[in-house]
Amino acid sequence: MAHASFDDALPDTLQFHAPAPLVDIGANLTHRSFDRDRDAVIQRARAANVTRLILTGTDLAHARQAAELAERHPGLYATAGVHPHDADNWTPGMARDMASLYARDSIVAVGECGLDFNRNFSTPAEQEHAFEAQLALAIEHDLPLFIHERDAGRRMREMLASWRDDIGQAVIHCFTADRDTLYGYLDLDLHIGLTGWLCDERRGHHLRPLVGDIPLHRLMVETDCPYLLPRNLPAKLKGRRHEPALLPWVVREIAHWRGVQEATLAAATTQTASDFFRLPADAERAPSADHIADNTATGGLTHD
């Protein structure tokens, strides 16, 4: 995204303390747009009662940075995988590099991995190859899967159906597809991650009648920040960058369309995320000094 200036604090009208502690299961905090104020972003999340963040690792470099960041901040965890856009970079050696990350306590899932036939930055064959290699890694390292799928629901269901007996828990993050795809995923005992996509009246309206069909023990919430700034915010945000402190607004929208109290939804999704990622209780894991900060700016992410 373009460089822009950000306020050091969110506007008053956007500050919203969630009625129960939340887990943001998809935060791209290693994105270069957070280089200027990453620590403040983490502080603002805490102030909004978003107490635990799962940082998305979309390639080896970002996964290493995410692990290091998580190890410096209590309540932060990370995933490690190769996004389907970057599947053409997958090599057998990468499985070995990833394995060293999976040994770290801060890494709680394999991913972001999956299929994206919307943009096909890597060919479908490359995407399937890298995805299957990562399914195998999840089995080998006994980790849940953080899965990206866009315009590839049919193939995703076919592939996961053939792997289902062997893999453990898996979440389709930022679910945006239709009812048939949702029911197919639920039939496969998958979890579903919802973002602020739902708040977008232009492209999210089809999701609104579906949110009540997802059992609470399968439903988790995420920002997918810096992407997908919710369109239900009551004030404009300079830079239009999404961040974890705004997750309560996404929860508000889901609760509205589901017809439940925000506190009920917040507590349920947090319980589901804690179980799914096997998170320790809040602040149980102390930050480690073993890993030195690496503030190398890496950007160019085009995922959302």
Binding site for Zn ion (CB under 5 A): 148
From CA 272, how far away is CA 277, in angstroms rounded?
Answer: 9
Q: How far is the CB of 288 from Zn ion (least distance, A)?
A: 28
131 close to 94: Cβ distance less than 8 angstroms: no
Judged by CB, which is closer to Zn ion: 23, or 255?
A: 23
| Residue 73 or 148 having the CB closest to Zn ion | 148
Q: How far is the CB of 226 from Zn ion (least distance, A)?
A: 13
Distances (CA, A) of 286 to 97, 108, 279: 25, 16, 13
Least distance from Zn ion to the Cβ atom of residue 148, Å? 3
In angstroms, give the least distance from the CB of 142 to Zn ion: 23
- Please classify residue 235 by burial: count the beta carbons closer than 10 Å to its beta carbon, then call 0-12 exposed, 13-18 middle and 19+ buried: exposed
How many CB atoms are closer than 10 A to CB 42?
23
- Cβ 234 to Zn ion, closest distance in Å? 27
Nearer to Zn ion by Cβ, of 102 and 227: the residue is 227
Cα gap 264→189, rounded to integer Å:
22
Residue count of the chain: 304
**CB closest to Zn ion, residue no:** 148
